[in-house]
Chains A and B, each alone.
Chain A
Amino acid sequence: MKINISLSLKLTLIVVSISAIVVFSLSFLYLDSQDTYFFDDYVERGVALTKSLNAGIDAGIDLEDNETIQKYIENINNTYPEILMMSINLLDEGNNLKVFVSTDNQSIGENASFVNKVALDHYFNNTYVDASVVTDEDAPKITVITLVNVSGQIIGTYTMLFSMEKTYANLNTQRNFLFLISAMSLFALVFSFLYLLRRIIVKPITTLRDGTILIGKGDLDVKIDINSNDELGDLASSFNQMTSDLKTSRSKIQRYSKTLENLVKQKDEFIGQLGHDLKNPLQPLVGLLPIIEEQEKDPKLKEHLHLIVHNVEYMRDLIFETLELARLRSSNIKFNIEPTNLKSEIDKILERQSLYLKENGMDVDNRISDGFFVETDKLRLAELINNFISNAVKYTQKGSGKIIIDAKKEKEFVTISIQDNGIGMTKEQQNRIFDEFYMADESRRRVDSSGLGLAICKRIVEKHGGKIWVKSDGKEKGSTFYFTLRVSDMKKGGVQNG
């Protein structure tokens, strides 16, 4: 099953994806820079505090006086509620860094970070040593380590632990705000895009589609009204041009078809008249000549008369068959199609032909099994069968002829086959045998046949909605003619013919 995704939906999806990627990348970059900014901010605060601590020590705070120092840092701790912990670490005789005083009493006397002087010397002349953020979602913290600088001499470090909670809370608010703004602008973007899309692309396309549908239904007065100066506008004007061209062509075709209709009517009338006018003058020839021939005593004259009679009959057949073919082609011919019992109908046809068959020594075997009912015009069926039989007679050595008629049902059609043991035909002949005036054997053109019989058969079968073809294994191998007729409703056929 084909899922129809509208053009606007597809384009919207693309726009949403692109905007989302852009907006979120920008937000991420912005927030990342904010993180760096806050980091630096804390370091600056630590450094500022260090400067005032160092100044205090320089001004005379006694580092030996544990109690005073302790108080001093606890005082700082209380003044700056952001500072969670603060300690002063000093180098001992072995140049090891030990926690000297701390708001966290337990850590006093333990090793501090940056354990020796070598490490500290590395940062000489700088007040700032290190800062590291503990990224705990609930309580983010930053440790800032600075140098204890007394009269230009590094003697230890300060460790300050800041809580970043407040800042992060601010940051989160900002972040949420940013997301909200992004989402809102995204929505606004998508909706305005959709609006533009509908106006600029989808609506013209739908208009064109509706126009096409109307044209398909035959309404050529459709005019597409798209006044944009772009490809769609061009398309619309080409479309309108096409419609007006179509309209011109259609009226031309209508005119021609009217003329053609009249011509066909005239032709049909002409053929009817021609038939009448050709047959009347033939009557004396067909009627009288055989009798005169019969009565003639002079053998020489009798022979001439025989030839004339033969030719008159040929001419008669030719006229009849030409008219028949013309009539089969005319549009107003009606077939009297009815359900017909194939076997018994063909038996009747053969019965009517029995004298002719006997005279020509032709043996016919109707092998069609009972119970086939087909849709056919009985007179036309007789015409078909008679044509095949007379062909078989013509092209088979007299006295040894045999025709086998059979039928096979295939879906809604019955294929009827008429097989003879005559002279057969080549592939080339099989292809052309149903053409008008084609004769497999050119030498027979003289008197025997008009060359229209099979063309007539073809028309008859096609008028029935069937197909006709021939098969032969080649010269002297006999031929089998096939034609199909539609199977009739068995019940209906059974009642009428059974």
Chain B
Amino acid sequence: MVKKILIVDDEPGVTHTIKYGLESLDPDYKVECVNSGQKCFELLEKNQFPDLIILDIMMPEMNGWEIQQKLQGKIEWKKIPILFLTATEDQTSKIIGDISSQGYIEKPCKIPELKKRIDQILS
């Protein structure tokens, strides 16, 4: 069963790492990378819905909170589980706890741990 993952992070180093890591650990993973909120919504507008979105918080122009808010706006988008990926501090992580049941994972993360979390959410 193919697992479609969308990563939104302004750091190509991060998105590339996770894509490579996940796909090499499990060939079932199909990972798409975008480096901004705009790109993320461009994809979604084309009705390409991933099984899960990995969302960075601190990004220029449109940050993770804003993207999450916008995702809540459409029924089809709202269903997609979000796993926050964050390098920021505990104040932020507490807010994540309040708005997302999936929680967050701290940067830099080990790929097997990330995969375990994703599998848990998708199972």
Binding site for B on A (CB under 8 A): 272, 275-276, 279-288, 290-291, 295, 316, 323, 327, 333-334, 336
Contact = CB atoms under 8 A, between A and B. Distances in A.
A276 B108 contact: no
A283 B11 contact: yes
B103 interface: no
Given A283-B17, A288-B17, A316 B108 contact: yes
Given A283-B107, A286-B109, A272 B25 contact: no
Interface residues of B, number: 24
B13 interface: yes
Most chain A CB within 10 A, of B16, B91, B107, is at B107
B108 A286 contact: yes
B72 interface: no
Nearest to B94: A336
B96 interface: no
B58 A276 contact: yes
Interface in B9-27: 11, 13-14, 16-18, 20-21, 24-25
Most chain B CB within 10 A, of A280, A290, A323, A333, is at A280
Interface of B: 11, 13-14, 16-18, 20-21, 24-25, 58, 87-91, 94, 106-112
Contact of A295 (B13, B24, B94): B24
B87 A291 contact: no
Contacts of B13: 280-281, 283-284
A287 B111 contact: yes
Given A280-B107, A291-B24, A334-B91, 12 more contacts: A275-B89, A276-B87, A279-B107, A279-B108, A283-B14, A283-B18, A283-B108, A287-B108, A288-B111, A291-B20, A327-B89, A327-B90
A283 B24 contact: no
B35 to A, nearest CB: 12
A284 B110 contact: no
A213 to B, nearest CB: 43
Most chain A CB within 10 A, of B11, B13, B18, B20, is at B13
A483 B94 CA distance: 26
A470 B17 CA distance: 43
A323 B89 CA distance: 9
Contacts of B89: 272, 275, 323, 327
Shortest beta-carbon contacts, A-B, top 7: A279-B87, A287-B17, A286-B108, A282-B108, A283-B108, A284-B17, A283-B14
A283 B89 CA distance: 16
Contacts of A287: 14, 17-18, 20-21, 108-111
Contacts of A327: 89-90
Contacts of B58: 276
